[in-house]
Amino acid sequence: MMMDRPSDFLRDEAAAWFAAMRGPAAADRKMEFDAWMAASPSHRAAYARISEIYNLGKGLEFDPEPAIPANRRQRRQLSVLAAALCLGIISVTAFVRKPLHPGPSTDASRSMAVAANASNPMQTAIGEIRRIKLADGSILTLDTDSIVRADFTDSGRTLHLERGQARFEVAHEARPFTVMAGAMSVTAHGTVFDVSALSDGRSAVHLLRGSVEVTQRARIEGRRILTTKMLAPGQAAETGSTGLSLLKQFPTGPAGNDWPSLLRQFDQIELGELIQEANRYSRMKIRAPGPEVAAMRASGTFRINDPQRLASNLALLLDLRARNEPDGTISITAQ
């Protein structure tokens, strides 16, 4: 099932913004662009579709050796589609000459749910990502199927990640800001970081900006052990049986730093990893493929919470077969 096509005007408007944000004046127009994106879900959907077409077109154009050779008819179909997408890309470039009409200005904060009562749990359903403005001005972004509870007092700001993953953009103020996840606590002042509560009981943190102090509380051979590390931007750490350890890659690595966007860009990711990541965001699941298909790699921008479209795009890019199964799942197999 494909997403409804946006109206011609909205498509042109999204295409103009897409071209502008890749041009020399992108930094100057970012606030205006953010306001346009926040004004309506239809704006975000139209922009996502333009981006998907552009990146899919790049993948078709520059993939010289499909993992499984296509027959002559399939190659001809791919060539026709690639040409059509290239025409779409050319038209995107042309749209930048038109005047932009971003519509009524809307403060992006209006799209955020403000946590009026910090003691209430904040949570997301499967496939949902929520951006929440907390009472202190900090921003909490909740990943799919996640729960956070907040406890703000006069002396401190504490949040408990009970399930899933969250990003914390901490507002500067005197009270310490602490995130608890299992045996891990992360304390920061003004900074941006991700925390993940892993399915096996471990917890992990990835620092994007600023600095944080990470502590693990554990009992080893009957003794209470505290392990503390200071992280620098780009570093990640996770809890373990012997204390905290630094990581080369955050456990939710396939999503990268752009996980708050449901439109994800991947570079040479294995299909097995991509499908596993996508299944976190949808009740309709893509079956784990066989080893040969799972090891194939794909690059491009994909809508992570739309398994039908994702499976179709992967099948097209890599000359595979995508099929809806009787049990409601989707299979991806070799031709």
Overall average pLDDT of the 282-291 stretch: 94
226, two tokens: 């505290």
Q: Give the pLDDT confidence score for residue 140 in this predicted structure.
A: 95
Q: Phi then psi for 278, rounded to 5 degrees?
A: -65, -35
Say yes or no to pLDDT of 110 above 70. no
Q: Which is more confident, 58 or 325? A: 325
Mean pLDDT of 307-333: 92
pLDDT, greater one: 250 or 296: 296
Give the Å distances, CA to CA, from 249 to 18, 204, 237, 265, 289: 30, 10, 9, 17, 24
CA atoms within 13 A on the CB side of 120: 10
More confident residue, 188 or 72: 188
Give the residue-averaged pLDDT of 293-299. 92
Instruction: Indicate the average pLDDT of the chain.
Output: 77
pLDDT, residue 65, reads 40
Q: Residue 260 corresponds to which tokens in the numbers above? A: 């708050």
Sign of CA dihedral 74, 77, 83, 86: negative
Burial (0-12, 13-18, 19+ Cβ within 10 Å), 329: middle
- What band does 54 get if pLDDT is binned at 50, 70 and 90? low
Calpha distance 174→167 (Å, rounded):
21
Confidence of residue 322 (pLDDT cuts 50, 70, 90): very high
Query: HSE on the CB side for 78, CA within 13 Å?
Result: 25
Percent of the chain with pLDDT over 90: 42
pTM of the model: 0.64
**In this predicted structure, what is the pLDDT of residue 252?**
56
Q: Provide mean pLDDT across the span 78-105.
A: 40
Residue 120 predicted with pLDDT over 90: no
The confidence score (pLDDT) of residue 56 equals 55
Q: What structural domains does the chain harbor?
A: 1-106 (no CATH), 112-253 (2.60.120.1440), 261-335 (3.55.50.30)
Indicate if the pLDDT at residue 216 is higher than 70. Answer: yes
pLDDT range class, residue 34, cuts 50, 70, 90 = confident
- Please, which pLDDT band fits residue 144 given cuts at 50, 70 and 90? very high
Give 149's pLDDT tier (boundaries 50, 70, 90): very high
